[in-house]
Structure formats: structure tokens, C-alpha cells
Amino acid sequence: MWIVEPSGQGWLQIGELGLAFLLSALIGVEREIRHKSAGLRTYTLVGFGAALIMLVSKYGFTNILVNNRVVLDPSRIAAQIVTGIGFIGGGLIFVRRDNVRGLTTAAIVWLTAAIGMACGAGLPILALVVTAGHFVVVFAFPLIAARLPRSRWTPSLLQVSYEDGREILRDVLITCTEYNFSVSRLKVDRASQTVAQSGQPDGIVTVALEVQGVGAISKLAARLADIEGVVAVTAGDVNVVTD
């Protein structure tokens, strides 16, 4: 007897997808708070997509069963799709110094492949639900991630340029401490840049500081820029993930 309608796209399976969505998001929140390279969106998309692939493998091929026997095994094709998309996703990820680019894009490509597999397996309801979940992750989760508390162990990079010979580095370190930041690394670069204006020292020193703290790095940078003799200040998180 032919089974012409795939089962497995009811409230039970939608609940399973919802549970995968929630648990993956919880893992992503923890990663996001600690400012790891893969954060809330990436973990949620990976877990959500994996759940859909499992459901497709379990329920997506019931319409080709004859007397509870598999005449054709298209699940092998599904497995090959997953492997192939892994290569594509890996090619989208770039690492430059401490910055990681393309993780979310790679996860979305992988999720899109899972949605296509669901459509091809005759599970349109699951595909529609996951597509809606994708838009929730992409548009709503950045707003949630922006409101998560900042970890005190997250390093940020400060680059301060100041006039040489005025003991300004001491003032810089004192200011960092006053703003509840600790300095974990420090690198001084003495550039022999001659200043043309009279009354100015002959050199500019640039110091790179890696600081940790729960305060706003932008406020610290603004305060450092107000120190007399400081020429320029640039700041940024070393673990910022851009996509």
C-alpha cells in the first residue's frame, strides 16, 4: 500500500523545532555575553537548521514507502547536500587577526539548504516555519544582543598617540583605572615624527593598550582624548564580529 502524504509536519514537530530554537538560542546568549566569535544568531541558526534536517530525515520520505519498505533511499542525497553545503559555508568564513567574518552568512546558507531540502521532501509547513524563524533571528536578535550585559573579561583595544617626554602614559594608565578598566597588554611604538610647530616636542609616541572592564570603552576613549598632550585616540573591541 502506497503512503502518498508525508507525515511528521504537525504540532509535535513544530514543537520540536521550537525547542531546538530555544535551546540553541540559550547557548547563543551565553556565547554572546562572553563576546565569542560565534554568537546568538549563529548558534540559533545552526541548531534550528539541524533540527529541521533531522525532521526531514525522519519524516520526509514516507511517500515512497511500499508496505513499510523503502524502495528508494533519497536520504543519502540529503546527507550529501549537508556535506556539500559545509564546504560552501567554510568558504564564507574569513579570519583576520582577532576578527571573524562570515559566520552568520555561512549559517544562513546552511539553513537555506535545509529549507530547500524540506520543500523538496514535501514538508512545506516545516519549511515555512523555519523561514519565519530565520527572519526573527536576522531582524529581532540583533536588538536583543545589543541589550545583553557586557562581560568584564571582554578585551578591547585602545591606541593612544601622545607627545613624547611629558609622562603622559602614566596619566593614561591612571585614567583607565579610574574608569574601572584593567590593562592586560601594553605595546609602545616611538615614532620619530617631527612636529613643525614651535614649542612642541620632537616626537609622537603611540601606545597600544588591551583593556578589560564593564564600562563603556567610548567614554574611556573620550576621557583619554581630553588629556593634555594626547594627539589621537582610537578604540574598538578586539572580538567584534562583523558579517
For residues 166 and 203, the answer to whether their CB atoms sit within 8 Å is no
pLDDT in the model for residue 179 = 86
pLDDT in the model for residue 90 = 75
Q: For the chain, give every domain's residue range.
A: 11-146, 155-237
For residues 40 and 25, the answer to whether their CB atoms sit within 8 Å is yes
For residues 8 and 65, the answer to whether their CB atoms sit within 8 Å is no
| pLDDT tens across the length of the chain (243 residues) | 444 556 778 888 888 899 999 988 988 887 788 676 667 888 888 888 888 888 888 887 777 776 666 666 667 777 777 777 777 677 767 666 556 677 888 888 888 888 988 887 778 899 999 999 999 988 888 888 777 776 666 678 888 998 887 888 889 999 988 888 888 888 887 654 444 444 444 578 889 888 888 777 888 888 899 998 898 898 865 444 445
Q: DSSP label at 149? A: P
**The CATH classification of domain 155-237, taken from the options 3.40.50.1260, 3.30.70.260, 2.40.110.10, 3.40.50.300:** 3.30.70.260
> What is the largest distance, in Å, between two alpha-carbon atoms of the chain?
97
Cα–Cα dist 177/171, whole Å: 10
pLDDT in the model for residue 94 = 67
Placement of cell 520543500 in the chain? 119
